[in-house]
Amino acid sequence: MIPHILIYTNWMPKDSDERTNAFMIRIRPKRKGDAGILAHGIEHVRQFYITLGLHGFLLAVSKRYKLWAEVKAYRAQLSHSSEADYARHKDLYATWLSAPEPEGYGLQDIITKEEAIVLL
């Protein structure tokens, strides 16, 4: 198990249900029990540890790293999707990965939605 602190709170941006900072995961109370969103956060904590704490810095300075990190996190989240929801979730995550900010991650210059679907 990856050591982490989990807090259920609404203290985060309106457009987010989960935020990870270092080894702390914040999830909205309405998403309590959602194994997928927790897996997403735990993957980001794992990335924090394997980068020796540089995860946040790397996200800020490298779009390629951000793409790698988010694809890994969304794959972890998708592994908890039901068969009925899997395709819809995959399409949604690919949309976010390839959309400009603030709707997405601002990676549209390095990945298309179709490429994101393949990566996921």
In this prediction, residue 26 carries a pLDDT of: 98
Cβ(120)–Cβ(93) under 8 Å?
A: yes
30 contacts: CB under 8 Å, gap ≥ 6: 17
pTM of the model: 0.96
The predicted structure's pLDDT at residue 119: 98
pLDDT, residue 5, reads: 98
Total count of domains within the chain:
1
Strand order in the sheet with 18-21: 5-8, 24-27, 18-21
Range of the domain at 63: 5-119
The whole-number pLDDT of residue 64 equals 98
The 10s digit of each residue's pLDDT in 61-119 is 999 999 999 999 999 999 999 999 999 999 999 999 999 999 999 999 999 999 999 99
